[in-house]
Structure 1
């Protein structure tokens, strides 16, 4: 979820000037293209992204969600990509000064900055794409029901393991990934109470070498099924899985089977654009109350990729039944939240 910086200071300043005009609230001597700034509606949404909009992962999915909002609501949109550290607070403040209706902070790492800026601009609505409880005013969280897929992947791992050891690899320990990890362990132990569950953090969403080291350590400890939610860093762990006989992986965010054919049992497909659209819809409808808004299988914002014959028919049936029980409410996995 973090990417190497690519914009010069001049480009950033010029781009932010454009942002301020496009949201409609700041004076500037710059004169961007008038056609590009032609208002489509009085509804404007801005987004701060931790990576690049073409990273084929978290940030690109966030940007696609912003474009979906533009298409469906005719909204004016603006964004800044690759925001790191203290500069995030500055960008959030820029958008607020520009009087955007909604400002989306597309990372769990942006929660503190969002809380600070939201308190300064009580009329502006803010959202963090993270299980943040909200301030019951203008800042809320938009999140997946992370426990659903965490639990299901734990079930799959426990069904597949031969060594009675399974593992979860997370990029960084945010509320969201912590929920996944806890639910993963619960799901695994629901299938086999004696299964050993390893949980480790890369400490990065980018460093493939660190993820490789984590994966090798887990495999050395006996884990033969690794659930990997670490963005680009996770590709390093998947490469390890691909090279180790008898070891399987579970991908995240998108279908990652092509990265290790025959070795990726399934992937958690997260429809991040739809998640964002559902959250923005609440704002558009006047229903935003600065709370935590969760979406999951029922809203079709996440699902499992095909198993492609890597589970036995009996194992697939078991997974499908548990998934149906979660959807119907017969099995409640939300307590991890």
Structure 2
């Protein structure tokens, strides 16, 4: 059994494949991309469940690393997770990235919290970033967190306004406190906009099973079940699994709402883009870029760095022309956004 490590250069047309043996027998990969590297600075990200190509969370993190490569002339590395891995695997991955001289080293997702806590203590001169977790703290740890519930509230407003069946759906990948923030905001946005609209909520898996973030078939089946119950708008916060729900909604001629990245513009979802009403975006790309830049500038970020509606850290994408033409919907969304920023609406973080 072998592990495949992929090395890619940005802008190049070829990739070199290096094979290394592994004892665990699971497949993982790492991408290394260079764009100048004039100062020898290096940064790395370690992907969450689903890995690169999820059209969502992980791809957003890579976009930030890629921007840093181009704009800051650093060398970037990205390491893939393996199937069913334990914290020990994450510790080894982060340790290898830190030993290689990467600074910062960024864990994409709350699952990296235990590993970052241990590895950051061993490399005090290296800055570690963790996305979506504020529980582990140290002088050299930056907690990149988002007000997901605020963006989800706006999605709820839009869903309630466009629904004709008065039934909409929410699909969470894995039932964790983080994903419950998405659910809570969405449900509140729907109810505040139209109390007559029913919200169907479902989670794909329960911890410690995180397949709900990585298996599109699970998302597709859940969405089909909600469609059968007359849902005509489905919002999925489920990483790669969410692509299955988008497919199901599109084939049924109903609306889907994407998450994390602007999924209307994701190449892997181009077949279904016309059915993606909007997406709840998290500016993961800028959070990654900003952390890398802070280290390069000699003023590394640390502690909680929060991104909300007030800083455009979360929001709704407006790439679909069909969405932007819905003036009453856009008006309701803009009004809700301003009221959240002004403190007139407080969005719940639990359903």
Secondary structure of 2:145's aligned partner: strand
State whether structure 2 residue 214 is matched by structure 1 residue 206.
yes
How far is the alpha carbon of 1:286 from its aligned partner? 5.0
RMSD: 3.4
Per-residue CA distance 1:123-158 (angstroms, 9 max, x = gap): 322111113244142223213331221110011112
CA spacing shift, 1:38–1:336, aligned 2, 3 Å: closer
Secondary structure of 1:260's aligned partner: helix
The corresponding residue for 2:306 is 294
| Whole-angstrom CA distance in 2 between matches of 1:274 and 1:322 | 24
Q: Which moved more, 1:45-54 or 1:214-223?
A: 45-54
Q: What's the TM-score, normalizing by structure 2?
A: 0.75
Q: What's the TM-score, normalizing by structure 1?
A: 0.78
CA spacing shift, 1:335–1:55, aligned 2, 3 Å: closer
List runs of 5+ in structure 2 lacking aligned partners. Answer: 7-16, 23-29, 206-211
State whether structure 2 residue 334 is matched by structure 1 residue 326.
no
| Cα contact 2:291–2:301 (8 A) shared by 1 | no
Per-residue CA distance 1:244-280 (angstroms, 9 max, x = gap): 25x3221222233844355332223444322311233
| Whole-angstrom CA distance in 1 between matches of 2:53 and 2:257 | 23
| Whole-angstrom CA distance in 1 between matches of 2:236 and 2:74 | 35
| Cα contact 1:46–1:103 (8 A) shared by 2 | yes
| Larger proportion of strand | 2
State whether structure 2 residue 349 is matched by structure 1 residue 336.
yes
| Whole-angstrom CA distance in 1 between matches of 2:281 and 2:246 | 16
| Cα contact 2:149–2:185 (8 A) shared by 1 | yes
User: Pairwise mapping of residues 174-193 of structure 1 onto structure 2 (< 5 A)?
Assistant: 174-193=176-195
Per-residue CA distance 1:25-53 (angstroms, 9 max, x = gap): xxxxxxxxxxx899633643222124554
| Selected match of 2:47 from 46, 49, 64 | 49
User: Pairwise mapping of residues 16-95 of structure 1 onto structure 2 (< 5 A)?
Assistant: 40-41=38-39, 43-50=41-48, 51=50, 53=52, 56-84=55-83, 85-86=85-86, 87-95=89-97
| Whole-angstrom CA distance in 2 between matches of 1:55 and 1:71 | 22
CA spacing shift, 1:140–1:287, aligned 2, 3 Å: same
| Whole-angstrom CA distance in 1 between matches of 2:271 and 2:52 | 21
The corresponding residue for 1:137 is 139
How far is the alpha carbon of 1:99 from its aligned partner? 4.2
The corresponding residue for 2:118 is 116
User: Pairwise mapping of residues 164-243 of structure 1 onto structure 2 (< 5 A)?
Assistant: 164-203=166-205, 204-243=212-251
| Cα contact 2:340–2:347 (8 A) shared by 1 | no
The corresponding residue for 1:280 is 292
CA spacing shift, 1:274–1:222, aligned 2, 3 Å: same
| Cα contact 2:166–2:198 (8 A) shared by 1 | yes
| Cα contact 2:247–2:272 (8 A) shared by 1 | yes
How far is the alpha carbon of 1:94 from its aligned partner? 1.3
The corresponding residue for 2:11 is none
- Number of residue equivalences: 312
| Whole-angstrom CA distance in 1 between matches of 2:144 and 2:304 | 6
State whether structure 2 residue 318 is matched by structure 1 residue 305.
yes
Per-residue CA distance 1:188-224 (angstroms, 9 max, x = gap): 1211235332222223223222112211222333432
CA spacing shift, 1:285–1:189, aligned 2, 3 Å: farther
| Cα contact 1:268–1:305 (8 A) shared by 2 | no
Secondary structure of 2:231's aligned partner: coil
List runs of 5+ in structure 1 lacking aligned partners. Answer: 23-35
CA spacing shift, 1:6–1:332, aligned 2, 3 Å: farther
CA spacing shift, 1:306–1:43, aligned 2, 3 Å: closer
